[in-house]
Each structure stands twice: as structure tokens, then as C-alpha cells.
Amino acid sequence: MNIHKRALLAIVLASLLSSCDDDSRIDPQKQMGPDPEIPKAQNFLLPPMKVPEAVAWKNGEMPKVAEGLKIEKIAEGLKHPRQVYVLPNNDILVAEANGPVKKAPARPKDIVMGMVQKSSGKGGEGGNRITLLRNVGGKWQKHIFIAHLNSPFGMQLIGNTLWVANADSLVKFPYQEGQTEIRGSGDVVTELPGGPINHHWTKSLLASPDGSKLYVGVGSNSNITENGIGAEDRRAAILEVDAATGASRIYANGLRNPTGLQWEPESGKLWAIVNERDEIGSDLVPDYMTSVQEKGFYGWPYSYYGQHVDERVKPPRPDLVEKAIKPDYAISSHVAPLGFLFYTGDNMPQYRNGAFVSEHGSWNRKPLNGYQVMWVKFENGQPVGLPKPVVTGFLTDDRKQVRGLPVGLAMDKQGGVLIADDAGDTVWRVSAAP
């Protein structure tokens, strides 16, 4: 056995041994809300890993929905659908991607982590394209709308310009209502942090209400700067881009991986969902949603959930920890929120005044957590109470197999909620039951 294989075996064995004493000791509901329970951090050579086996949706199988709702499949056979976006004529754009090809050498630890995660359906080649879905006479047509993109994620239409956030650039395309294809590579407006590592490659995207600015969520290039602080330039941040010139600045930082951005309807404030750090236990650190203050700092990598110091990060920065803003609302540990939607429609009035969040699901927590779309009520511009599950069933009842992984969320013109199902290669639509 060569040195590389021995290193991999050692890491796997260490992971199995360390996982024996890392079962969650906290009810996830105690880590939901403005004041989550924060236990003592643990430390591992490799975080304990637990993922369900990926299986395909069987004929007729669908996710489960809350009482009073129905769900239907509107597209299948996609290649890792990540985000959905509704155009003014009710056509639906679907960004298909699964991350750029990694060019940097991977550590044995990264290889093992990748192998474990792929077993849950997170592996495989993405489409690197945007597909357009159109409802014609009750049947959904599928068109390749833009091809040859570089791991697209966020999409926004401003006037007659379609903006797409690739893994390494923000590009724009001319758009005419009704067209089913855009050719060409688009115009690069500004480069986005990418590079040979590009650890968190997804780039969430949101236009300002007047269309003059675009906000881009850029994840960190590591868990806690193990790739060096130099690799984190303009990362773990929300960038503000001037739509006219492409000039950009850091709007807020210390957000480890801001995967979804939205304007809260009542207050008009910018809100984000954030994936927090790993490798310090099943109950750390809670992922969260928060309003985002201009020039605000939210702790990463030096602290988490406000001013809880991460002792692993060297050298420490007590000056930055002191500035760290506590997030508004925790949604429990390792759920991996990837989709975010404030619901303003009339089709499901019980969900107005609240936000849907899709949870891609844990891979390093025992027991599993996430794998659902949940809803949080808002009052006076702030979340209140506990989240309510709305779309479940992505995990089998025995929680040993996963059929789908919810990601992007959008609302269509009829008030239905669209869900991009990453592992299921499907787009679902949820609406009021007859």
C-alpha cells in the first residue's frame, strides 16, 4: 500500500473512531431562533460523517407537503438544477451546475470528504447551462437557454438584461421576452473570486429594487482559513456591484457562505441565509438567516454566532471578535440552507409574511438534519417562533436513503413555489390543494 492510500485509510479510521462520541446531544429545536443553545466545541482530525445513500425517485414518488398543499413535477432529467428564476412572462429559468473542475491538489482529508458526500447524490457532472421551462397548454417544454457557462448559480433580470453569476464572474446577456435561446458567452461585467481552489463556488445574486446595484454572495475558500488568509480575499462576503460600471466593493463580510439573498418585504432590508463552519461537533455551528448591515462583520473565521471565539483560527483577532454582529435567527446546525424566498403571493395566503428556506441537508451530523423546505413567520420585519416544515420526504422514512436535495426557491406568477431538486434532477411546484 503506497503512502497516499495509507494516509487515506488512516483518516477514514480516525473518522470512524471519532464519530463514536459525536452524536448530537441537543434537540435541533433548541438551536432555532434568536438565541440558540451553543455547546462546547470539540475537535477532530476529520469530522464524523454521516450521509444517506442516494436513490432515484421511483415512478409516482414525490416529496410530502403540509396540509392544504399539493406538489407536482414540472421538469425532470436535468443535470444538478441549483437555482430557479421566474421571468415576467412566467417562463422559468433553471441554473444547472455542480461546481467547477478542481485544479488545485486535494488533501487526503478533502478526498475522503468528497467521497462521502458523493454517496448522497451530490456528485456527478453539472449542466453548466441555464434551461428554460415553458408551460404550453398544461405541458412543460424544456429548452437549453444558455449553454457553456461556468457553474452558474444566481440569476437576475433587470430591464432587458439578464445577469448570471458564474463561479468566477458576473456576466450579462441581452434578453427579449419570449425567446427560448440566447447564444454567445455574454459580457463579463466583473470578475468574482474563483481561482484554483474555489471551495464555496456558488454565487448567489440579488438586484437592488431600482436595478442600479447587484449583490453577490461569495463563500469562503475554506472551512476556517486552512488554505491561508490570502485565499480569502473578497470572500465570506456580500459584494455590491454597480450595474452600470461593474465597479464593486465589499458590502458586508464575515459571512462564511451566504448562499441566498432576499429583500425583506416589510422593512426593505437585505437578508441572507448562511452556511456556518464544520469540524467542531454535530451541534456546532448553527446555520442562520440574518439581516445584513452595510459594512457589518459577522465573525468568520474568528468567531461564530456573535462572539464565540473559534480557538482553531491562528492568529486570533480579538479586535474583530469584538465587532462581530450576532445573527438574527438560527436554523440549527449543519442543515446547509441553499434556497431563500420571502413569500408574497396569494395562492397560499397562510405563508405570507414569512420566508421559505430550503435545507440541502447535513453530511457531518449524527443524526441527520435538514433535507426539507421549511417556513419561518415574520412580524415587523423579524422572524418569530419556530420554523415549520412545509416540504419533506426527500429522505426515506427510515432516514437511510435520500431521493432529492432541495436548493433554489422561486415564486411564479400564480403564487406557486418552485423548488430545484439537486440530486433528484427535478423541478417541483408547490401550490394550494384544490
pLDDT at 16: 45
pLDDT at 104: 57
Q: Which residues of the chain have pLDDT under 50?
A: 1, 4, 7, 9-11, 13-20
Neighbours of 117 (CB within 10 A): 15
pLDDT at 253: 98
Matching residue, cell 479510521: 13
Is 104 buried (19+), middle (13-18) or exposed (0-12) by CB count in 10 A?
middle
pLDDT at 78: 98
Question: At residue 221, what is the residue type?
Answer: N
Strand order of the β-sheet with 329-333 is 32-33, 329-333, 286-291, 270-274, 258-263
Residue of 65, 101, 98 lying closest to 83 (CA atoms): 98
Query: What is the Cα–Cα distance from 257 to 143, expressed in whole angstroms?
Result: 31
Query: What is the Cα–Cα distance from 262 to 209, expressed in whole angstroms?
Result: 11
pLDDT at 101: 72
pTM (predicted TM-score): 0.94
Query: What is the Cα–Cα distance from 161 to 211, expressed in whole angstroms?
Result: 10
Residue of 327, 357, 359, 360 lying closest to 342 (CA atoms): 357
Question: What pLDDT digit, counting tens, does each position of 11-42 carry?
Answer: 454 444 444 456 889 999 999 999 999 999 99
Our CA angle for 234, 231, 303, nearest 5°, is 75
Our CA angle for 339, 234, 272, nearest 5°, is 25
Grid coordinates representing 226?
486552512
pLDDT at 20: 46
Query: What is the Cα–Cα distance from 181 to 93, expressed in whole angstroms?
Result: 11
Residue 330, beta-bridge partner list? 33, 288
pLDDT at 114: 62
Question: Is the peptide bond preceding residue 285 cis, with omega within 30 degrees of 0?
Answer: yes
pLDDT at 14: 46
The CA–CA distances, whole Å, from 299 to 191, 282, 417 equal 25, 20, 33
